[in-house]
Amino acid sequence: MLKYFFSIFALVVVLVVTVAGFRGQKFQKPPIELFPDMDHQPKVKAQSPSEFFADGRGNRQPIAGTVPLGYAMPQHKDVNGSTGESPSPYKQVKFSSGVSYFDTGRFDNQWGTGIPVNEVTPEFIARGQERYAISCQVCHGATGAGNGIAGKYGLVAIANLHQQRIRDMADGEIFNTITHGKNTMMGYGDRIQVQDRWAIVAYIRALQLSQGGAAINDVPPAERAQLEAQKQ
């Protein structure tokens, strides 16, 4: 009987303390802010005014000539159906949205090898070089040796793309690393479209071949003939 009494008494004490503790009190002093930079973030809240703009509106119309990430730029065609601009290298802008090898770099539970395009052309590799220079070179360096400018500002553990472990990686694993990141490297799946990620993989393979990994038989016959002609 005494056991039940103490149990009920303890329950009542907890209930009283809980109710009394949540009553709250009025204070004249400002509340304690453990993380003031989080409480006062320099951002525009939806439907709120902004003193930054002359009209006071926080919500803004899209800037002319810009498009949301992942959407193709609309082009005005003339009467002949021509846009008058250089065509996009791809028929559509695409970010990862599936379970195929093209989207994941995997065949079931295994990393796949091979660039999933009809042909790895010089133009495709040039596209990879361009995208690499924009998104990768700052850390991995122009040649992939891991000596980019980011290392001079304290970023550590930057991979040298010529290390044997990376040379031995399947193409799909490199693609996955670009997509999701690894260790201190952030993921670029929402910043670089799928086709460009594969173009970067192709360019990385070209970099690796350029740094002591290429044999004369790896050169296409037409280019090989040109090299042989230059030697004579």
Lowest mean pLDDT, pick from 107-116, 148-157, 167-176 = 148-157
Is residue 43 within a helix (H) or strand (E), and if so which, with residue range?
A: none
Task: Flag whether pLDDT at 20 surpasses 70.
Answer: no
Lowest mean pLDDT, pick from 86-100, 117-131, 175-189 = 86-100
Q: Residue 31 domain-assigned?
A: no
Q: For residue 198, give its domain range.
A: 118-214
Domain count, the chain: 1
pLDDT band at 202 (very low <50, low <70, confident <90, very high): very high
Q: Residue 149 domain-assigned?
A: yes
Sort 44 into a burial class: Cβ within 10 Å, 0-12 / 13-18 / 19+: middle
Q: Residue 35 domain-assigned?
A: no
Residue of higher predicted confidence among 130 and 80: 130
- Which residues, 6+ apart, have CB-to-CB distance to 40 below 8 Å? none
Task: Flag whether pLDDT at 69 surpasses 70.
Answer: no
Lowest mean pLDDT, pick from 28-37, 61-70, 110-119, 161-170 = 61-70
pLDDT band at 21 (very low <50, low <70, confident <90, very high): low
Sort 131 into a burial class: Cβ within 10 Å, 0-12 / 13-18 / 19+: buried
Q: Residue 200 domain-assigned?
A: yes
Angle at the Cα of 151 from the Cα atoms of 192 and 41, rounded to 5 degrees: 65
123-158: pLDDT as tens digits: 999 999 999 999 999 999 999 999 999 888 877 788
Q: Residue 38 domain-assigned?
A: no
pTM of the complete model: 0.59
Q: Residue 227 domain-assigned?
A: no
Task: Flag whether pLDDT at 83 surpasses 50.
Answer: no
Q: Residue 73 domain-assigned?
A: no
Residue of higher predicted confidence among 69 and 115: 115
pLDDT band at 90 (very low <50, low <70, confident <90, very high): low
CATH number at residue 135: 1.10.760.10
What is the pLDDT averaged over residues 179-184?
Answer: 90
36-66: pLDDT as tens digits: 777 777 776 777 787 888 888 877 777 777 7
pLDDT band at 213 (very low <50, low <70, confident <90, very high): low
Residue of higher predicted confidence among 224 and 111: 111
What is the residue-averaged pLDDT of the chain? 80
What is the pLDDT averaged over residues 162-191?
Answer: 92
Measured CA to CA, the distance from residue 221 to residue 90 in angstroms comes to: 28
Q: Residue 152 domain-assigned?
A: yes
Q: Say if CB 105 and CB 176 are below 8 A apart.
A: yes
- State what percent of residues in the chain have pLDDT above 70: 79
